[in-house]
Structure 1
């Protein structure tokens, strides 16, 4: 077990399929929740098939192995140099752990000098070993064994979730799992929390920092290339694969994906995020870069491999076109050439600009650039010589063998039909596994999944472009405002008519999630009234403003707002305000529910057309 923190990962939000909560000391979480912690630490191992066998008894050899793995130097236990006991020869699988446990004073022999490695371990024995990890020795107990040991074991809260009650009861593997979980939040003899010895901490509520814990026990990054599977130090049979925050499978891992893993959890976390563009700067210097700027954005460098590739000792420098392979934290895990992206891409233009760039040799050059959000969710930037592309245009990108780029304006498609309720097909056309979908509104676009389209009727006006794979399934799809998810939503605070008898001028003030914009002296009378609105285009100079539809909420349950006999689905990006003293203050749905405030919801369109509750105001 490695006691280290993976650079750049601790601060990130954990993109796991396990949406892990924190567990307060004293609470009894479920076995599934506890196993995530104990297996992440490497204390419990499910073997090649991943079965933890929680119902069977744990042997003395197994328990002492778990105890050593739960100790600060558990990853440094090697093979035994001697036979620690007559019945534990140096050739025994656990001999190294038993030898280390003897040296640490955690175990002693039976009166006949044997260890009895295959015997089930009893509660009294397991509790005494766990207390030994906390720093307690025989000198700390008064009275006949095991009465004082079990009293201290219970006072430390080590018994939570453990089914064994009597000293002679055998511990199951589930009992052992709970015992080691409880150990992490227990105080040592010196008064520090035990998990701090492993390099982790508790938060102010006394909860395990699971994000830090699992990130810290994660290996990688590894770039999927060639025979990458042989670089993972365990069998991949039956592993859990989480790709871009979604449960997936080994077959979905593609060339140049970035992979992390935890052997005990038998889990792979995979990121396919890429950014392609020209290196604009390296900071603090090209000799020792810690960050790189591409597409006007700065990316922290996550790995030594990427730092070398971008340094003056490596392959790439300022002015070169590269593909940054991004890790789970959004940092640069590796660097590749332009050909690391697919031979063909499609997406939507998000920006065109002319800029001046450092050529890396003391000079500068000026180039027209086009920035594209592709259907794979990644952003790419290319030098642009054509003059017929503008923000919002659908575009195809292709590459020749030398990495030269060709941009093509995509023509509209003829696809239409109703999306099935399970989100697997449009009319007679099935979605391919991993189908890539963009929904575009003006110059804004958002990546969505087929399930988001379930039940929607897509017209030809909704579908800008699609492509089929070799099986005739839809693999890429660009939509025109089919769901509204690419829109910007907020609250219209003020609207005034400031004109005279000869002409009318209008001024608007609106808040979009905490950012306030003022549009003074506009000649356009937008069809809006005070309340929830949708903004299309640049919020400082919008193309259009629309009013949303108002509903008075009777309550909220999960992601549903109830109003009378009707229910409305709440957007994942719902904007929430508290209205106090004639002002709107950004808030959260959890907070306004806890306060018991009266809620008003605003939705953009009927739900069978992709509509959602976009704005909630609490009073």
Structure 2
């Protein structure tokens, strides 16, 4: 929530119709002094009026630091545009001109905490709260310190937590009781009748218990290392516990991604579908903890994790497979999707199927894969040949695996110099580059045509296959989330957009703030319809 600076019942009358001594007078005064509210043209505040969506947005965005420069299109068009681009509309039901319900107010504030403020920081971080490595608000750290739990959902939520919740959040999103599933991990605060649920799991073979079984603090299951976050999970992997290296388990993850429950013996069948990245021989722990050389399959799952399984079949890189654990049995087999949708993603719909934040989406190329959000695919054209796998429940897309639709699995940076040999048969060309500011040198006989400047680095079998120049245009307007190019085209900033400053032949990793006042050029890998985004911005 917003940091409170007002005092309930303050004896101040900030507006003629806000009487001193009322419970809200101090808060209205604080909001006025902060510049979040200004009242109406007649000098009144009208405290008994209902608050519409656009009015609430105006206050929330000002609290986040946005101001006149960001509201160039006037009220409420500018506020509603930021509402959508900052993803403040996630889970909201209110529409323009309608008053907000208390539920919508709570969800809006919740969404604001996880969004980028004008400063570029996550708003919660600006308020002093912790955020995770992806810059998202770390609700897990708050829940761990303030809520009760964890408990595992076995039958009903009332049985698990002892009350009927009024508010439910599942996997960090506003939800409802009907969305909860068996084996969800629950945390709760009874006084506010609120439940936080987590559905993430890791299944497979126990490969390592760290630092030892005397005092375990983490476990590696099929290539995924999970910190242990409950006394029960710690005991399960300790010397007196029942789980050993080589056993097949499902670890339930709670707040902060910690392993809190361990399921064995067929208590739950858990599977993950994904793309095979590689099949190779590697070191694998046996039941006694000894390392032996065995065939392993590496799978990038739709859960966004990379899993490693013992394997002896015929699957190969690029195949779509499902790995399932039930009791002591682990199976990995090739799977086919149930549908092959195609078309342009419009308003969360692809070929009549719903694509939303509950959909698990992967994009891959060669041995590289990334997990995407549904919003990343909005307005992107998807051909049937782009779909490697798609599973649905009714009209909802559960899992969608794509073949190089967005290019997000590639690296982007700048080539700072190129030395080409006159005799390519005698000596290779040398490319000096920076990716995210990290320098590198690559020599190659052929296959690279890039000149000095921003470039995309594409990989095959773990090595750079091609270096291609990025297209660029002068920047007309650099926004928080989008760029308006010189021809009027508006494109999204990539999630890992890089800023560089160029001075003659020298290139320096920079930042948005440091490039202020310079002439900017934005570089992109493709059109927005083909999944392209702004990848590099150069100031000169």
Q: So what's the TM-score if we normalise by structure 2? A: 0.70
Matched residue, 1:333: 260
Task: Looking at secondary structure, tell me which structure has more strand per residue.
Answer: 2
Output the aligned Cα RMSD.
Answer: 3.5
Structure 2 residue ranges without an equivalent (≥5): 14-18, 31-124, 131-140
Could you tell me whether the CA contact under 8 Å between 1:323 and 1:340 is conserved in 2?
no
Alignment of 1:339-354 (within 5 A): 344-354=271-281
Matched residue, 1:436: 360
Q: Does 1:209 align with 2:114?
A: no
Q: Does 1:366 align with 2:293?
A: yes
Aligned mates of 1:177, 1:282 — CA distance in 2: 55
Q: Does 1:421 align with 2:346?
A: yes
Aligned mates of 2:279, 2:437 — CA distance in 1: 28
Matched residue, 1:557: 479
Matched residue, 1:566: 489
Deviation at 1:305, TM superposition (A): 1.7
Deviation at 1:385, TM superposition (A): 0.5
Matched residue, 1:222: 151
Provide, for residues 163-190 of structure 1, a one-character-per-residue CA deviation record: whole Å limited to 9, x for no partner.
4339x964527759999xxxxxxxxxxx
2:421 to 466, 483, 498: 498
Deviation at 1:216, TM superposition (A): 2.6
Q: 1:561 to 1:304 in 2, by over 3 A?
A: same
Q: 1:539 to 1:582 in 2, by over 3 A?
A: farther
Other structure's SS at 1:254 match: coil
Aligned mates of 1:227, 1:258 — CA distance in 2: 12
**Once structures 1 and 2 are overlaid, which stretch shifts more, 262-271 or 546-555?**
262-271
Could you tell me whether the CA contact under 8 Å between 2:264 and 2:327 is conserved in 1?
no
Q: Does 1:546 align with 2:501?
A: no
Aligned mates of 2:384, 2:247 — CA distance in 1: 40
Alignment of 1:370-409 (within 5 A): 370-390=297-317, 392-398=318-324, 402-409=327-334
Matched residue, 1:184: none
Provide, for residues 299-328 of structure 1, a one-character-per-residue CA deviation record: whole Å limited to 9, x for no partner.
322221210111122221222222232333
Provide, for residues 215-260 of structure 1, a one-character-per-residue CA deviation record: whole Å limited to 9, x for no partner.
53233333333334433254313x041x333333333333333333
Alignment of 1:559-598 (within 5 A): 559-564=481-486, 565-579=488-502, 582-589=505-512, 591-592=513-514, 595-598=516-519
Q: 1:301 to 1:532 in 2, by over 3 A?
A: same
Highest RCO, 1 vs 2 (Cα 8 Å, sep ≥ 6): 1
Q: Does 1:603 align with 2:534?
A: no
Aligned mates of 2:481, 2:268 — CA distance in 1: 36
**Once structures 1 and 2 are overlaid, which stretch shifts more, 563-572 or 432-441?**
432-441
Matched residue, 1:275: 202
Q: Does 1:450 align with 2:374?
A: yes
Matched residue, 1:33: 2
Could you tell me whether the CA contact under 8 Å between 1:306 and 1:334 is conserved in 2?
yes
Deviation at 1:480, TM superposition (A): 0.7
Flag the structure with larger Rg: 1
Structure 1 residue ranges without an equivalent (≥5): 1-31, 36-157, 180-205
Other structure's SS at 1:386 match: coil
Could you tell me whether the CA contact under 8 Å between 1:490 and 1:575 is conserved in 2?
yes
Q: Does 1:172 align with 2:26?
A: no
Q: So what's the TM-score if we normalise by structure 1? A: 0.61
Aligned mates of 1:563, 1:417 — CA distance in 2: 29
Q: Does 1:468 align with 2:392?
A: yes
Could you tell me whether the CA contact under 8 Å between 1:453 and 1:610 is conserved in 2?
yes
Other structure's SS at 1:348 match: strand
Aligned mates of 1:557, 1:472 — CA distance in 2: 35
Deviation at 1:607, TM superposition (A): 0.7
Alignment of 1:146-157 (within 5 A): none
Alignment of 1:224-263 (within 5 A): 224-237=153-166, 239-241=167-169, 243-263=170-190
Deviation at 1:561, TM superposition (A): 1.0
Provide, for residues 403-424 of structure 1, a one-character-per-residue CA deviation record: whole Å limited to 9, x for no partner.
5233333458872432342022
Could you tell me whether the CA contact under 8 Å between 2:433 and 2:441 is conserved in 1?
yes
Other structure's SS at 1:210 match: coil
1:614 to 514, 523, 535: 535
Other structure's SS at 2:417 match: strand
Other structure's SS at 2:441 match: strand
1:531 to 449, 453, 457: 453
**Once structures 1 and 2 are overlaid, which stretch shifts more, 602-611 or 357-366?**
357-366
Other structure's SS at 2:255 match: coil
Q: 1:596 to 1:352 in 2, by over 3 A?
A: farther
Q: 1:446 to 1:512 in 2, by over 3 A?
A: same
Q: 1:406 to 1:294 in 2, by over 3 A?
A: closer
Provide, for residues 94-140 of structure 1, a one-character-per-residue CA deviation record: whole Å limited to 9, x for no partner.
xxxxxxxxxxxxxxxxxxxxxxxxxxxxxxxxxxxxxxxxxxxxxxx
Other structure's SS at 2:309 match: strand
Other structure's SS at 1:478 match: strand
Could you tell me whether the CA contact under 8 Å between 2:447 and 2:466 is conserved in 1?
no
Matched residue, 2:72: none
Q: 1:402 to 1:283 in 2, by over 3 A?
A: closer
Q: 1:208 to 1:436 in 2, by over 3 A?
A: closer
Provide, for residues 286-306 of structure 1, a one-character-per-residue CA deviation record: whole Å limited to 9, x for no partner.
122122234455432222121
Q: 1:362 to 1:281 in 2, by over 3 A?
A: closer
**Once structures 1 and 2 are overlaid, which stretch shifts more, 288-297 or 541-550?**
288-297
Aligned mates of 1:498, 1:338 — CA distance in 2: 63
Q: 1:569 to 1:350 in 2, by over 3 A?
A: same
Provide, for residues 451-480 of structure 1, a one-character-per-residue CA deviation record: whole Å limited to 9, x for no partner.
3322332212211121232x2543222111
Matched residue, 1:483: 406
Aligned mates of 2:509, 2:162 — CA distance in 1: 47
Q: 1:573 to 1:165 in 2, by over 3 A?
A: same
Deviation at 1:267, TM superposition (A): 4.1
